Structure 1
Amino acid sequence: MLARMNRPGERLCLAVGAVLVASGLFHLGVFFVDGGPWDGPVSWRKPFTFGVSFGLTLMAIAWVTSYVRMSERVRGVLLVVFAADCVLEVGGITLQAWRHVPSHLDMETSFNSVVSMALAVGGGVLVVVLTAFAVASFRREPGGPVGMAVAVRAGFGILLVALASGAVMIGHGVYLTRTGHQLAAYDSTAPFKPLHGVSLHAVLVLPLLAWVLGLTRWSEGARLRTVHAAVGCYAAAVAGAVVWATVTY
């Protein structure tokens, strides 16, 4: 796996991803020392979870896209943009956590509005970049060991669900904020968080499984069936999260 990660853009993503994960873990320590609520718009949970999630996702995308058949130049540019955007997102969330104000949907002051809108725009950039990778994975079959093509395509397909749920959370929250329902805007994101979290990491979990299976002595048929079963289980989990979001919304 690591032998594939030798291009400058890939090394950059691995390094930045590791820093973001370390930042997230650091803020978990801050939570244990400083205390405060775990839930809610102002919590040390946010720089912890966003740091770890963005860091892992950045490293996963750098690795997984090495199996996607596309222009290396285009892929390198997209990876650099993605890395910069991950830093922007985690940085903005972390800044607001230390200021003890909400990071998203906060229009109380001019500065907070700028941060909130920057995070929203950054989210739009994430959608564009990740959708470009997803489209490329479906245009030409990804390479790699048996089952990797299925895992990569399924991972990106489920990732698009995460992007859609994130867009719904931000869009509806902004609408509530603009119409004078600030507290309702913060609460409105809760039903979608399980769906967003579960679907976000399929692009790492499924290809990683396919890679691990490639190290075994199982037959190609057994490995492929296992990947298909894992995709089915993951899809069922996402469907369950969709039902939960629908019922609790």
Structure 2
Amino acid sequence: MFATGLTLLFSGGCHFAFGVITGDDWSGPTSYRKPALFGISTGLTCISMSWVWGKLRIWSPDPVVVWLTSLALALEVTLITIQFWRGVPSHFNHATYRDAFIEVAMLVLIIIASLGISWLVFRSLLPGAFLTADDTHDPSRIPSTSMKLAIRAGFVLLWISLLMGFIISSIGWAEIQAGRNPEILPQAGVLKFPHGACLHALQTLPLAVFVWQFLKCRHVLLRTSLFASAHLTFLAYACWQTFSGLARFEPGVGGMILLGLTSLCLLSALWPSRWIDAVLPTQRLSEAGS
């Protein structure tokens, strides 16, 4: 899983560099954006999952799940990259039998990968899923209470993002059959917005916990909860904008409310410890031992 992530990151980074050097516009379905975005995004996800697996108690099906998930993600991104170099869209493309076969193959591969990720989500949510001092002599593999929350919240948001991917793909095909753009929900809703809104919470949440613990901030558990809530409200904002037919950052009243909640949760997570102490003088949520 880790090797797959590094390989995909390298591929995505190279395509990003080539796109910058050649002055690519990044907007079209055959631009460098596709292999760069999928390579970097999937690579980061693979590396994060390999890191999480190192903190879980091993179950007997894990090796098979790891290999199948890694292989499925690597092949999916490879097919997307092949379509780019062929100069044709990788998604919503049934122009030829070859394109249709690749589209179906990518669907099968992402279903396999989603099942593997769902297995890991299920594993992480179980009581006693993570390693303890009785399981390993390496303290770095034992997550704190805040890190456990960050991992679990990140996985749930990743799983929701995958679900949104299947939903928007179905809507996209319906839009094609209606003779409309499969990437836009009338009038200006960007269908991929909800899918990507919290796709990388598995990286941002644990990273935030690491920084807070490194800086010896207090109330890390509370901060993690607030930061996870900010991700969730931003996902709600993305869904509201898209399914209301609005552009990403042209919010109406409902969108402004959700953006306001997102900002409130985010700013509260970043409050200085002394401010939180003033609100929670008992420090019941300070998480002194984690």
Shorter-chain TM-score range = 0.7 to 0.9
Please say which structure displays the higher CA radius of gyration. 2
The whole-number CA distance in structure 2 between the counterparts of 1:211 and 1:80 is 28
Structure 1 residue 184 displacement after superposition: 2.5
Within 5 Å, which residues of 2 pair with 1:203-242? 203-219=202-218, 222-242=219-239
The C-alpha deviation readout for 1:44-82, integer Å capped at 9, x for no partner, is 1000100000000000111123333451x3222222212
2:49 counterpart (41, 61, 66): 61
Distance 1:187 1:218, change over 3 A: closer
Within 5 Å, which residues of 2 pair with 1:72-111? 73-111=60-98
2:21 counterpart (19, 33, 51): 33
The whole-number CA distance in structure 1 between the counterparts of 2:174 and 2:124 is 34
AA aligned to 2:89 is P
Q: Is the 8 A contact 2:48 2:202 kept in 1?
A: yes
Q: Which residue in 2 is equivalent to 1:4?
A: none
Q: Aligned to 2:181, what secondary structure does the other structure show?
A: helix
The reply to whether residue 159 of structure 1 matches residue 158 of structure 2 is yes
Query: Alignment RMSD, CA only?
Result: 2.2
The reply to whether residue 22 of structure 1 matches residue 10 of structure 2 is yes
Distance 1:208 1:111, change over 3 A: same
Q: Is the 8 A contact 1:24 1:49 kept in 2?
A: yes
Q: Is the 8 A contact 1:162 1:199 kept in 2?
A: yes
Distance 1:238 1:76, change over 3 A: same
More helix by share: 1
The whole-number CA distance in structure 1 between the counterparts of 2:48 and 2:204 is 9
AA aligned to 2:169 is I
Please report the TM-score for the alignment, with normalisation by the length of structure 1: 0.84
Q: Which residue in 1 is equivalent to 2:277?
A: none
Q: Is the 8 A contact 1:17 1:58 kept in 2?
A: yes
1:245 counterpart (238, 242, 245): 242
Q: Which has the higher contact order (CA 8 A, sep 6+)?
A: 1
Structure 1 residue 139 displacement after superposition: 2.0
> Which range moved further: 125-134 or 106-115?
125-134
Q: Which residue in 1 is equivalent to 2:283?
A: none
Q: Aligned to 2:191, what secondary structure does the other structure show?
A: helix
Q: Which runs of 4+ in 1 moved over 3 A?
A: 33-37, 174-177, 186-190, 211-219
Q: Is the 8 A contact 2:189 2:241 kept in 1?
A: no
Structure 1 residue 213 displacement after superposition: 3.4
Q: Which residue in 2 is equivalent to 1:194?
A: 193
Q: Is the 8 A contact 2:73 2:110 kept in 1?
A: no
Count matched residues. 232
The whole-number CA distance in structure 1 between the counterparts of 2:100 and 2:116 is 24
Q: Is the 8 A contact 1:69 1:140 kept in 2?
A: no
Unpaired segments ≥5 residues, structure 1: 1-12
